Amino acid sequence: MEKYLFALFIFMLALMLAVINHKFKKSRSDTEELINEKEKRLLKLYSGLEEIIGSTEEYIEEAKKEIENNRELCQSIAGKTALALEGVGKSDSSEPAKPEKPSENLAGTGYEQTLQKVMQLKSTGSDEETIARQLMLSKGEVSLILKLSGHAAN
């Protein structure tokens, strides 16, 4: 009887080892599958990151070129402005330069119409502030129009 009990005990141990081994293999394969899924997702994220870095580098290069073009444009404008200022400073005439007639500079714009409206309101006795309010212009614009047209502000 002892032999049968001992044999039963050994059989139970073998059975428990088989069950534990089966669970270990299953959990191991599940773990490997989970690791493989994570590796795939990680590779996908890495490739997406590489694309983002590549497009960012392209954007940076384009921005650098645009900045350089803008810098050259600013330097060109600064040079032209300096030349223009030198030309204004070297004026040979002793009297101040008289402004050109506004109609000569702004022909074809809405300037003539605005000038006519300003002059009409001025002839009725309106002051600059009233003219500016009625024509939706600034007081400075009205004043400038009157000065350029040869009419002193009252």
Q: What is the pLDDT of residues 109-128, one digit of tens each?
A: 577 888 889 999 999 999 99
Cα 43 to Cα 40: distance, rounded to the nearest angstrom: 5
pLDDT at 152: 61
Q: What is the pLDDT of residues 60-108, one digit of tens each?
A: 999 999 999 989 888 888 887 877 777 665 554 455 544 444 444 444 4
Q: Evaluate if pTM is beyond 0.85.
A: no
Q: What is the pLDDT of residues 5-61, one digit of tens each?
A: 888 889 999 999 888 888 777 777 788 888 999 999 999 999 999 999 989 999 999
Place of tokens 């392209």: 58
Task: Domain ranges for the chain, please list them.
Answer: 1-97, 102-148
Q: Which residues contact 99 (CB under 8 A, 6 or more apart)?
A: 148
Place of tokens 């009419």: 151
